[in-house]
Amino acid sequence: MAGIYIHIPFCRKACHYCNFHFSTSLGSAEAVVTSILKEISLRSSEPIEEIQTIYFGGGTPSILDPEIINKMLQAIKVHYAVSNDPEITLEANPDDITVEKAKAWKQMGINRFSIGVQSFADENLQWMNRAHDASQSIACIHTIREAGFENFSIDLIYGTPGQTQQGWIKDLEKAIAMKVPHLSCYALTVEEGTALHHMIGSGKKEKISADEQAERFETLVQLSSAAGYIHYEISNLALPGKESRHNSAYWESRPYLGFGPSAHSFSGIKRSWNIADNLKYIQSIQAGVLPNEEETLREIDQLNEYIMTSLRSIKGMQKEIIRTRWGMDKLQVISKEIEKFVVAGKITSTEKTWSLSREGRFFADGIASSLFFLED
């Protein structure tokens, strides 16, 4: 199986914590979309398995007219072999979702949403500089359900400046009460160059507390588990059968193509990424030149990526995969290095797998990096 990701680099407002590639000016939107359509055609000769997932991300894809999304979707179907039952996800902001748009998206084949709620508290949304308010978040969930959508996810952020434990509990309880089928919950990271980074540096916002984020994460685990959610990846939880097929493919290192400015692609061995500049992307594509860079992953890089992604997943690291792909010597090294985490209760070891314990999940990135191989 393979996936396709399309990056729509436009947003209505600039969120204060975001460092993704986007523009708040729609002046070049038509040219960017035309170039994405051409890139889809230009790259149609690249070898790729049957496409089983398509993901419109950004940015904010829902800011565009539904017919534009449909044009890109139809171009994919013309140039690539798409399965009969693909998962097709559209990232959307609550303020963009209307009954008319929802019906149009459903008719063209969109069958899953990823909605940027972030918080159900207006005071949090305001400092984040979100374009919607809490009432729109609640209303949009009713709207998409009325249009016939039952497969959707919402994003929630925890560990933010000023967020209390009780405030986080209220966010989770609201989502659980509405039986949201999938939750993507992220600990806030402060990226250099963002408005939030400047606010904290100037003392206008308090620093992020790692201890408070750990407390929020534990609350997430407790409440979601009691409500029947499967914590199938560090930041992602789903009611049974509602796991994201597209995101799961990322964690399983499956191949995917990325179209649009800043989009990444992965073949299993090579990784490539488009230039994160709308004008340069347009100029290059219109000249028939792919504006990307690429790297070929060494065997050791592929192993390190497997360690990182597999540990984030509920499936964990498969010992037999490591033995067959990278050899018994690498398996033995990992086995020796991982023992301290098993003893500390952060990793659970079985005959076939190593997986993060409930206690170890919050420390996933640090644990994975300590297991990386630096040289072949």
Model pLDDT for residues 45-101, shown as the tens digit of each residue = 998 999 999 999 999 999 999 999 999 999 999 999 999 999 999 999 999 999 999
Residue 107: Cβ-neighbour burial (10 angstroms; 0-12, 13-18, 19+): exposed
Instruction: Tell me 207's DSSP state.
Output: P
Note the pLDDT of residue 376.
Answer: 61
- Which residues, in sequence order, are CB contacts of 244 under 8 Å at separation 6+? 87, 89, 112, 153, 182, 236, 238
Note the pLDDT of residue 71.
Answer: 98
Note the pLDDT of residue 219.
Answer: 96
Of 182-191, 200-209, 253-262, the one with minimum mean pLDDT is 200-209
Please give the full DSSP string across 79-131, using - where no structure is assigned.
HS-EEEEEEEEEEE-GGG--HHHHHHHHHHT--EEEEEEE-S-HHHHHHHT-S
Note the pLDDT of residue 335.
Answer: 96
DSSP H helical ranges for the chain: 29-42, 66-79, 99-108, 122-128, 134-146, 165-177, 195-201, 210-226, 245-251, 278-286, 299-312, 319-326, 328-343, 364-370
Question: Spelled out in words, what is the top-level CATH class assigned to the domain 2-251?
Answer: alpha beta
- The HSE-up count of residue 180 (CA atoms within 13 Å, CB side) is 26
Of 1-10, 15-24, 270-279, the one with minimum mean pLDDT is 15-24
> pLDDT band at residue 24, thresholds of 50, 70 and 90?
confident
Q: Is the pLDDT of residue 1 over 80?
A: no
Q: CA separation (Å) from 11 to 8, 131, 135, 206, 298? A: 9, 9, 20, 26, 36
Beta carbons of 106 and 144 less than 8 angstroms apart: no
* Mean predicted confidence (pLDDT) in 18-43: 93
Note the pLDDT of residue 191.
Answer: 86
Whether the model clears a pTM of 0.85, i.e. scores above it, the answer is: yes
d(CA 46, CA 304): 26
Q: Is the pLDDT of residue 117 over 90?
A: yes
Neighbours of 192 (CB within 10 A): 8
Note the pLDDT of residue 80.
Answer: 96
- Amino acid, res. 365: D
Percent of the chain whose predicted confidence (pLDDT) is above 90: 85
Of 40-49, 93-102, 196-205, the one with minimum mean pLDDT is 196-205
Percent of the chain whose predicted confidence (pLDDT) is above 70: 100
Beta carbons of 72 and 40 less than 8 angstroms apart: yes
CATH T-level topology, domain 299-370: Arc Repressor Mutant, subunit A (1.10.10)
Q: What sign does the dihedral 213-218-223-227 (CA atoms) show?
A: positive
**3-class secondary structure, 186:** strand
Say if strands 256-259 and 236-238 run parallel, antiparallel, or are unpaired.
unpaired
> pLDDT band at residue 205, thresholds of 50, 70 and 90?
confident
d(CA 19, CA 16): 9
Q: Is the pLDDT of residue 144 over 90?
A: yes
Note the pLDDT of residue 253.
Answer: 86
Quote the mean pLDDT of the chain: 94
The residue extents of the domains of the chain are 2-251, 299-370
